Amino acid sequence: MIIRRLLIATPMAFVLCLGVGCGSTREVAIKGQLASSTSAQVDGPIAVQFFDIVETKPSLVHSITLDRLAAFDAKASLEGDEVLVRAINDRDANGACSAGEPWAEVRVPVKEDDTVDAMSLELHTGSCPTE
C-alpha cells in the first residue's frame, strides 16, 4: 500500500514542479549602457541578449531590441550565478552576429540581491562569438 502511494505521488509531484516551477530560477535585474568604439559604425537595431550560465554552458533566456546605442534595464529568469550579456548591431535582423556587425559581450556575477553591477558594453568590429 505504501509503495503504491509512492508510485502515484512521486510522478504527480514531478508534474506539479514542472507546471509551477520548482527550480531555483529567479528574476535578476540587469542594467547597462551600450556604446561603440571609435572604429565601429553602429546604426540600426541592436539586439541585447541575456544568457544564463549554468555549469559553464550559456543558454539564451531573454532578449530585447534597442533602436540605438542607449541604456538598458531588463529582467531575466536565471538559474546560474553568472549572466552573459551580448549586444549585436543586428543589421541583417537574423538575431545573431554576422560578419562585419559590431558586437560586445560581458560576463558578470549575480549578486545575492538578484541584481548585477551596472555594466558598459562597447561594440566593436571583429570576429563574431562562437557560442
As given in the structure block, the three cell numbers for residue 74 are 531588463
Please, what is the average pLDDT of the chain?
86
How, if at all, do strands 26-36 and 71-78 pair?
antiparallel
For residue 17, what pLDDT is reported?
45
Contact 105, 85 (CB under 8 A): yes
The answer on pLDDT for 19 being more than 50 is no
How far does CA 39 lie from the centroid of its chain? 26
User: What are the tens digits of pLDDT across the range 25-84?
Assistant: 999 999 999 999 988 999 989 999 999 999 888 999 999 999 999 999 999 999 999 999
By percentage, how much of the chain surpasses pLDDT 90?
73
Q: Please state the domain extents for the chain.
A: 25-123
Cβ-in-10-Å burial (0-12, 13-18, 19+) of 127 comes to: exposed
* Mean pLDDT, range 102-128, rounded to an integer: 96
Determine the pLDDT at residue 23. Answer: 58
Please indicate whether residue 55 or residue 21 has the higher confidence score (pLDDT): 55
Nearest to 26 by CA among 84, 85, 80, 77: 77
**Nine-digit cell string for 19:** 507546471
Residue of 35 and 17 predicted with greater confidence: 35
pTM assigned to the model: 0.80
DSSP 9: H
Superfamily of domain 25-123: Carboxypeptidase-like, regulatory domain (2.60.40.1120)
- CA–CA separation, 31 and 34 (whole Å): 10
Greater confidence (77 vs 19) lies with 77
